[in-house]
C-alpha cells in the first residue's frame, strides 16, 4: 500500500512538473480572454448608451421641429382666414389650368 501511495505521489509530482506550466499558461490565457470580453462588453454598453442618448436628442429635435411647423401652418391658416376679402393672386397653377382648359376646348371644337 505504501508503495502505491508513494508511486501515486511521484506520478502526481511528475504530472505537476510536466503539465504545470501548460495549466498556468491556459489559466493565464483564459484570464486574458475573459478580461478582453469584459472590456469589449463594457465598451459596447457605453457605445449603446451614447447612441441611445443621441437618439433621444434627435427624437426631441424632430418633435420640436414638428411642433414649430404645425405652429407656422396654423398661423398661416389663421392669417388667411382673417383676410377673406382679398383676392388671391393668380398663380402659375391657375394660369396653367386655364391654358389646359382652353386647349381642351379648342380640341373639342375640331
If DSSP codes are grouped into helix, strand and coil, which group holds residue 89?
coil
List, for residues 62-107, the tens digit of each pLDDT value.
999 999 999 999 998 888 888 766 555 666 777 777 777 777 777 7
Q: Write the pLDDT tens digit of every residue in 13-48.
A: 888 888 888 888 999 999 999 999 999 999 999 999
How crowded is residue 103: how many other Cβ atoms within 10 Å of its Cβ? Answer: 10
pLDDT of residue 1: 54
Which residue, chain included where needed, has cell 396653367?
Answer: 96
Amino acid at each position: 500500500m505504501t508503495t502505491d501511495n508513494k508511486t501515486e505521489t511521484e506520478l502526481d509530482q511528475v504530472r505537476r512538473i510536466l503539465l504545470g506550466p501548460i495549466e498556468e499558461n491556459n489559466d493565464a490565457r483564459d484570464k486574458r480572454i475573459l478580461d478582453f470580453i469584459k472590456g469589449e462588453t463594457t465598451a459596447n454598453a457605453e457605445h449603446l448608451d451614447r447612441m441611445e442618448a443621441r437618439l433621444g436628442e434627435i427624437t426631441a429635435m424632430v418633435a420640436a421641429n414638428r411642433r414649430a411647423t404645425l405652429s407656422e401652418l396654423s398661423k398661416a391658416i389663421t392669417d388667411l382666414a382673417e383676410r377673406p376679402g382679398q383676392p388671391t393672386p393668380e398663380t402659375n397653377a391657375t394660369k396653367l389650368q386655364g391654358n389646359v382648359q382652353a386647349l381642351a376646348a379648342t380640341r373639342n371644337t375640331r
